[in-house]
Amino acid sequence: MSEPTFAALVSRWYERNARDLPWREPGIGAWAILVSEVMLQQTPVVRVLPAWEAWLARWPVPIALAEDTPAEAIRMWGRLGYPRRAVRLRDCAVAIMERHGGEVPDRLDQLLALPGVGTYTARAVAAFAFGQRHPVVDTNVRRVVCRAIAGEPDAGPATRPADLVATEELLPAEPAEAALASAAFMELGAMVCTARAPRCTICPVESVCAWRASGQAAPTGPTRRPQRYAGTDRQVRGLLLAVLREATGPVPHQRLDQVWHDDVQRARALAGLVTDGLVEPVGEESFRLTGDGPAVPLPHS
């Protein structure tokens, strides 16, 4: 009897140890999975869970979000971080309505063409929602493949085409098994093969891990320089958005002036929000969340 493949070892471990997350439930639907993948970008699961549940309770299908305003999407996003994702999700819902009759498409090229859907998200939806064979490569997967296959302690800060090739070579030929393996690789990197404190003694591929065999230590410094938040434009943007989210109409410039003491930085942050499509001016002296007014129903084909 042949030895189990790398993917088979990780998939067996996953089936016994995977976290019970609602977007992994059978039959959950492509829209719910797409929303989860967008929310999970640079955001911990514990913060995403309540936001995901609230979002889908309000907008369970793309048309519901498409027919609401960008402002409401921004409000619902709350303090999840990187609020442009809320606007992109709404843009995505509109595109799904206009191009695909309200159903999330199952073709990779069509997923990639949706607003705000990049290489990772498109492949994640194709694999996890439609059971297709695609390499789904995030930071966790890159780390697992780099360590176990290439024998290197760290995968570096950015996904490269070579990472997609290396991961795809590990996937089983059968699409459903490949989709399971993709989820398993990700879970292994998130829960066991972590960046700073890998739990090698409980890893299902310890015996075949090239990095473990090499005896190299885990990196001692951060892969990426931690991003400072206090005092940055990002903090000021968040403070401005918090005021605008709570408002029921346009907010006078004077009210926004109270948010932050540095006039130049505050003006720069506000201008950035306008450029990013999150905020729009109302006349010369007030601002509001983009599209903060009555929703305009989309034309139905």
205 contacts 140 by C-beta, under 8 angstroms: no
Whose CA is closest to 103, among 205, 190, 17, 29?
A: 29
When computed from its CA atoms, the radius of gyration of the chain, rounded to whole angstroms, is 22
Whether 37 is catalytic = yes
Whose CA is closest to 145, among 196, 193, 180?
A: 193
Structure tokens at 10: 């990780």
Phi–psi pair at 280, nearest 5 degrees: -135, 145
Q: How far from each other are the two terminal CA atoms of the chain, in whole angstroms?
A: 57
What angle, rounded to 10 degrees, do the helices at 70-77 and 233-246 form? 110
- Give rounded-to-5 percent helix, strand, coil for the chain: 55, 5, 40
Residue in 3, 15, 25, 37 annotated catalytic: 37
Which sign, positive or negative, has the C-alpha torsion 60, 65, 68, 72? positive
Whose CA is closest to 246, among 65, 59, 79?
A: 79
Which run of H or of E encompasses 280?
strand 279-282
Residue with tokens 């024998």: 151
CA of residue 282 relative to chain centroid, distance: 32
By residue count, the chain amounts to 301
Cα 109 to Cα 100: distance, rounded to the nearest angstrom = 13
Residue with tokens 């936001």: 51
The residues carrying an active-site annotation are 37
